[in-house]
Amino acid sequence: MPAGPANARADQSDGPQSPPPWSTPGKLFLASFLALYFELVIIRYLSTEIRVFAYLQNLPLIASFLGIGLGMFLGRPPGRLEKIFPLLALGLFALIAFAAPLHLTHLPFPSLDYFVWGEHGLGRLPRFFAALWFLVAVLTILALVVAFFVEFGGLVGQHFSGSSSLRAYAVNLAGSLTGILMFTLLALLETRPGAWMLVGFLIAVPFFLRFRWALVSFTLIVLITGIQQPDTFWSPYYRITLKSYGAPPGWAQPRAYQLDVNHDYHQRMVDLSSAFLGRYPDEEPNRSAYASYELPYRLVNDPGEVLIVGAGSGNDVAAALRHGAAHVDAVEIDPVIVRLGRQYHPERPYDSPRVTVYMDDARAFFKKATKKYDLIVFGYLDAHTMLSSYSSLRLDNYVYTLESFDEARRLLKDSGTFVLAFASGRTFVTDRMFATLAGAFGKPAVAYYTRYDGSGVVFIQGKARDSAPLLDFPLITEELASRQDSTILATDHWPFLYLSGRTIPLAVVLVLLVFIYSSKVLLRKAQALSGLWERRNLHFFMLGAGFLLLETKGVTELSLLFGSTWIVNVVVIGAFLLMAILANTLIMVCPVGRGISYAALLVFLVLGSFFPYSVLDALSTPVKILGAAVIVGLPVFFSGLVFSRSFRDSPVPSQALGINLFGAVVGGALENTVTLAGTPVLGVLAIALYTSSAVCLGKTVLRSEVVLPLPVEGSAD
């Protein structure tokens, strides 16, 4: 689990038990490692193979949180579940691995309030049956995820016994941090799911040696997920499949290549050289692509210095070079896509000495760039539903906001031209793009409906905006301008380009309602809701709910600083875990009063809501990372002090942890309110929840606490 209140667990068995002889810090460390490691595996793998989970990103997170916490609350893996766990794990990962033949990869969304690539809502099913199929499939998978993590959470809870709960919590946090770093390393090394499973289940084997089918099931999981699919690559962000188009007669190489990302079409590498088109003018897909990639240079005769964001495999770069660009700065976030472009693009644009490639997020590049450009081109940049692991934001969302366009505008020379291409057709997404560009540039863009790949739209701003209209593309400027005043702009505070309005998508609401109700029933059966309305229990409930909001707040804020890259997850989660370890260590040595901790926590929450992260842009990268980690981590440090002290003093730890668990699940559900009120609501809700948790303790407790003498080892347990 992410570091936080609900991560601390003690032995939650029914009545006192003698600690098992194999209950060691090493076992606890490995169990904690497995819980966090497989949480990231599930989130990444599910969103890749079953596409709706890329849009419902925090639901697998909540499900894994619920499962781990419930297992910890029980204090050991449930006997029946432990026996069937190897087969359950095999079933879960086989379901994900074979999602395509099982027709789960592209589940239809049951509503039209969210723009979904390639499947705008219901598909061919009537609304009722689409909603029913969606709910049954999603909830079944989430139930399997919960059951899977109950096992690992039980292993963590089992090995908490035998030592001070705060010392065990420190080992738990260290194992969790190592699990996060391990999966992050594997992702950065571009490993495949089979490698993820091999690492995870090798570490899990010692816990399951006594079960007959464990080794067989784990081996089958590794084999199933490790099946080598031809021309498939796993980058830190995507599952990428490369397909080639045949070479025309008399030509030595394929006329084009296609890249599919996470089972969806993404882009093509097309040969648009004069040598090819002069000989094969009607060859497809080259002929259709030519008009779209040539469009900017029909408006800009001398491109000069060119910036291309979302450079991909190189089509936009090749076009700039063909038209005599003096130099091209190409920005692309995915290293595998660039590498494939270098290797396979027919025109070899990345081999040119006039091209400099920046492996970076577009938004992060804007903040660092000082150069002025004659032409800025936003390629077909959409991230195709690959989200950050701990956020409900698409990778590209912060690239298409008012503030992002304004930053790009500042990089334009006075006589420069801005061109943005997007495949959103005549939808509310195109309306929002048009209105947001108008807000950034102070006047409406010229918009052409190119129909490239069926739904291409190109927007023109800057000098070329006033050029003579192109007659071979429908001009849709007036059509979009007629709806401009009623369109919600995309901003850094509300970056939800693909939502029809300020609403929580119906699909999310339906799943959350059923899931939270089912969670409540599950927790009640586990007696985790006993005495919910007692002040002490409500205190733990609010702490759990507040933590996940802090986590999401940290990810969204640092995405604006570093861009939506892996560094955000590493900085935020690493900072949170380290701060929790420091807080827990301090409580072990010198139990700080909760009144002092709450005062500092609320001060830093308020300051964090107004802190201008842009002031860190001028710092060197190491200093910027350290500064950002401290700023997002300080509230976690003080909330960790509160939690560790409350956990240490709790007379009924099992009850407190059960309530804390359910609060965390509800906090995860509350994250979705950002689509209604924008990202600042995360800070407001966190302040409200932590304030409520302080009120639940009561003034007497907070005022009476002072720094206490060092406790005798074990007395807190």
Query: For the segment 271-324, what is each residue's pLDDT rounded down to a tens digit?
Result: 999 999 999 999 999 998 998 899 999 999 889 999 999 999 999 999 999 999
Confidence class of residue 396 from pLDDT cuts 50, 70 and 90?
low
* Three-class secondary structure of residue 376 per DSSP: strand
Say if residue 712's pLDDT is above 60: no
Average pLDDT over residues 657-668: 77
Residues 222, 371: contact at Cβ < 8 Å? no
Alpha carbons 353 and 372: distance in angstroms, whole number: 19
Alpha carbons 668 and 675: distance in angstroms, whole number: 14
Confidence class of residue 161 from pLDDT cuts 50, 70 and 90?
low
Q: What is the pLDDT of residue 118?
A: 59
CA atoms within 13 A on the CB side of 18: 3
Say if residue 652's pLDDT is above 60: no
Alpha carbons 366 and 358: distance in angstroms, whole number: 11
Residue of 128 and 519 predicted with greater confidence:
519
One-character DSSP codes across 549-615: HHHHHHHHHHHHHH-SSHHHHHHHHHHHHHHHHHHHHHHHHS---HHHHHHHHHHHHHHHHH--GGG
In this structure, which amino acid lies at residue 376?
Answer: I
Average pLDDT over residues 410-436: 94
Say if residue 19's pLDDT is above 60: no
Return the top range by mean pLDDT from 43-52, 192-201, 503-512, 554-563: 192-201
Confidence class of residue 14 from pLDDT cuts 50, 70 and 90?
very low
Confidence class of residue 709 from pLDDT cuts 50, 70 and 90?
very low
Confidence class of residue 354 from pLDDT cuts 50, 70 and 90?
very high
Q: Which residues of 403-413 are buried (b: 16+ CB within 10 A; e: fewer)?
A: bbbebbbebbb
Q: Give φ, ψ of 98 to 5 degrees.
A: -105, 30
Q: Hey, how many other C-beta atoms are within 10 angstroms of the C-beta on 459?
A: 27
Q: Where are the alpha helices (DSSP H) in 23-126?
A: 25-49, 52-55, 58-74, 79-97
Say if residue 431's pLDDT is above 50: yes
Q: What is the pLDDT of residue 17?
A: 41
Say if residue 1's pLDDT is above 50: no
Question: For 536, which DSSP code?
Answer: H
Q: What is the pLDDT of residue 131?
A: 78
Q: What is the pLDDT of residue 398?
A: 86
Q: Which two tokens stand for residue 587?
A: 């409580």
Q: Which residues of 142-161 are buried (b: 16+ CB within 10 A; e: fewer)?
A: bebbbbbbbbbbbbbbbbbb
Say if residue 90's pLDDT is above 50: yes
Q: What is the pLDDT of residue 535?
A: 81
Using CA atoms, how far residue 236 sits from 310, 342, 578, in Å, is: 16, 18, 24
Say if residue 523's pLDDT is above 80: no
Q: Give φ, ψ of 250 to 5 degrees.
A: 85, 0
Is 65 exposed, middle or buried (CB count within 10 Å of its CB: 0-12, 13-18, 19+)?
A: buried
Q: What is the pLDDT of residue 564?
A: 62
Q: Where are the beta strands (DSSP E) in 342-475?
A: 355-359, 373-378, 412-422, 446-449, 457-462
Using CA atoms, how far residue 99 sits from 56, 104, 650, in Å, is: 17, 5, 45
Q: What is the pLDDT of residue 200?
A: 97
Residue ranges per structural domain of the chain = 21-229+506-526, 239-382+402-486, 529-717
Say if residue 119's pLDDT is above 60: no
Say if residue 85's pLDDT is above 90: yes
Distance of CA 485 to the CA centre of its chain: 32
Average pLDDT over residues 543-553: 86
Average pLDDT over residues 415-433: 93
Alpha carbons 555 and 563: distance in angstroms, whole number: 10
Distance of CA 620 to the CA centre of its chain: 26
Lowest-pLDDT range of 416-430, 479-493, 662-676: 662-676
Confidence class of residue 642 from pLDDT cuts 50, 70 and 90?
very high
Residues 610, 549: contact at Cβ < 8 Å? no
Alpha carbons 238 and 128: distance in angstroms, whole number: 32
Say if residue 23's pLDDT is above 60: no
Query: For the segment 177-208, what is each residue's pLDDT rounded down to a tens digit?
Result: 899 889 989 988 999 999 999 999 999 999 99
Q: Where are the beta strands (DSSP E) in 228-341?
A: 232-234, 239-244, 256-261, 264-270, 305-309, 327-332
Say if residue 120's pLDDT is above 50: no
Alpha carbons 324 and 320: distance in angstroms, whole number: 7
Say if residue 484's pLDDT is above 90: yes
Q: What is the pLDDT of residue 207?
A: 92
One-character DSSP codes across 114-163: B--TT--SSTTS-HHHHHHHHHHHHHHHHHHHHHHHHHHHHHHHHTTTTS
Q: What is the mean pLDDT of the chain?
A: 84
Is 99 exposed, middle or buried (CB count within 10 Å of its CB: 0-12, 13-18, 19+)?
A: buried
CA atoms within 13 A on the CB side of 615: 6
Peptide bond before residue 285 is cis, with ω within 30 degrees of 0? yes
Q: What is the pLDDT of residue 550?
A: 86
Chosen CATH of 529-717 out of 3.30.310, 1.10.287, 1.20.1250, 1.25.40: 1.20.1250
Say if residue 255's pLDDT is above 50: yes
Q: Which two tokens stand for residue 152?
A: 């690992």
Confidence class of residue 616 from pLDDT cuts 50, 70 and 90?
confident
Alpha carbons 139 and 126: distance in angstroms, whole number: 20
Using CA atoms, how far residue 90 sits from 159, 214, 710, in Å, is: 25, 10, 48
Average pLDDT over residues 584-602: 88
CATH class assigned to 239-382+402-486: alpha beta
Query: For the segment 316-349, what is each residue's pLDDT rounded down to a tens digit?
Result: 999 999 999 999 999 998 999 999 999 999 999 9
Closest CA to 555 of 688, 393, 401: 393
Q: What is the pLDDT of residue 717?
A: 33
Confidence class of residue 653 from pLDDT cuts 50, 70 and 90?
low
Pairing mode of beta strands 239-244, 256-261: antiparallel
Q: What is the pLDDT of residue 124?
A: 59
* Three-class secondary structure of residue 55 per DSSP: helix
Question: For 405, which DSSP code?
Answer: H
Alpha carbons 104 and 181: distance in angstroms, whole number: 30
Say if residue 137's pLDDT is above 70: yes
Residues 377, 417: contact at Cβ < 8 Å? no
Query: For the segment 355-381, what is each residue's pLDDT rounded down to a tens digit?
Result: 999 998 888 899 889 999 999 999 887
Using CA atoms, how far residue 484 sits from 417, 569, 618, in Å, is: 22, 36, 36
Query: For the segment 598-613, what is each residue's pLDDT rounded down to a tens digit?
Result: 999 999 999 888 887 7
Confidence class of residue 516 from pLDDT cuts 50, 70 and 90?
confident
Residue of 468 and 205 predicted with greater confidence:
205
Q: What is the pLDDT of residue 138?
A: 92
